[in-house]
Amino acid sequence: MKFIIGKKIEMTQIWKDGKVLAVTKVQAEPCTITQVKNEEKDGYRAVQVAFGKGKEKRTKKPQSGHLKKAGLKGVKVLKEFKIDDKAELNIGDLISADNFVAGDKIDITGISKGKGFAGVVKRHGFHGSKKTHGNKDQLRMPGSIGCTGPAHVFKGVRMAGRMGGEQVTTKNLEIADVDLENNILFIKGAVPGGRNGLVIVVADGELKVSKKEETKEEKKPEIDQKQEEKTEEGSENKEEKKESASEKTTDQEKKEASSAEANKEEKN
């Protein structure tokens, strides 16, 4: 099983084989493996995956220590996926969009758009009552919710209530195209959730991982060391200049003192 965490961008259209396809763009940035669970220690095999960059100051100390093992400072999302026994994964490995190709069948999970409090017609598709012939103000009413015998409403009765904002999985969607340069998946059809919503893409196949490369943040300490060396050299040069200046002043004072003594002897 292969998987990745992404962010829904928008719906758009692309041309493929002379036809226009309605697709959803999903930003599938490389996800870092932060923990590998095994049967001996945890009782099951799974991996914990991090997505997105978060602010370090908003990360608590236990979590920051946990993320440090993978070379991360702050993340937005941590998700767990079960893996096969054959998979060999390590902390710090990257899962990128190159796991998917055009034509893959996927299952995508997201949080649907929240629609607030809705009636039975919108929420459950009730057709409503008749508008005339003895009815009045009953067009979108739910009608009877049960008999009087039990004296309570059974669980599961379809009624008005909060609609949307739930986890939804859409199955058997097809990947139309993959943009590896920008880490974008073009998924044929609609994807649950609104723009910038978190989605999880799962498909059958072997999971490929790559080793983490050194980022600019990791190279900063070397730059800092060079800057420190430069500052140390500059301070040493300043000290040498001060010493040379003090030596010059002492030499001038000696010359002035000797010239003053010579003038006094001439006067005498």
| Percent over 90 (pLDDT), the chain | 59
Q: Is the pLDDT confidence value at 221 over 90?
A: no
Q: What is the pLDDT of residue 200?
A: 96
Q: Is the pLDDT confidence value at 244 over 90?
A: no
Q: What is the pLDDT of residue 56?
A: 87
Give the closest residue to 113 by CA, choosing from 186, 168, 34.
Answer: 168
Give the closest residue to 220 by CA, choosing from 91, 71, 96.
Answer: 71
Q: What is the pLDDT of residue 174?
A: 95
DSSP letters, 150-214, are: S-SPPTT---SEEE--SEEEEEEEEEEEEETTTTEEEEES--SS-TT-EEEEEESS----BPPPP
Residues 134-147 have pLDDT tens digits of 988 899 999 999 99
Average pLDDT over residues 226-249: 62
> How high does pLDDT run on average in the chain?
86
Residues 32-83 have pLDDT tens digits of 999 999 989 999 999 999 999 888 888 889 999 999 999 898 899 999 999 8
The answer to whether residues 137 and 219 touch, using CB atoms and an 8 Å cutoff, is no
Q: What is the pLDDT of residue 254?
A: 67
Q: What is the pLDDT of residue 216?
A: 43
| pTM summary value | 0.72
Q: Which of 128-137, 158-167, 177-186, 230-239 has the lowest mean pLDDT?
A: 230-239
Q: Is the pLDDT confidence value at 217 over 50?
A: no
Residues 94-115 have pLDDT tens digits of 999 999 999 999 999 999 999 9
Q: Where residue 220 falls among pLDDT bands split at 50, 70, 90?
A: very low
| Percent over 70 (pLDDT), the chain | 81
Q: Where residue 177 falls among pLDDT bands split at 50, 70, 90?
A: very high
**Type of residue at 128:** G
Q: Which range has highest mean pLDDT (31-45, 82-96, 207-221)?
A: 31-45
CATH class of 2-121+158-213: mainly beta
Average pLDDT over residues 183-189: 95
- Is pLDDT larger for residue 266 or for residue 18? 18
Half-sphere exposure of 261 (CA within 13 A, CB side): 6
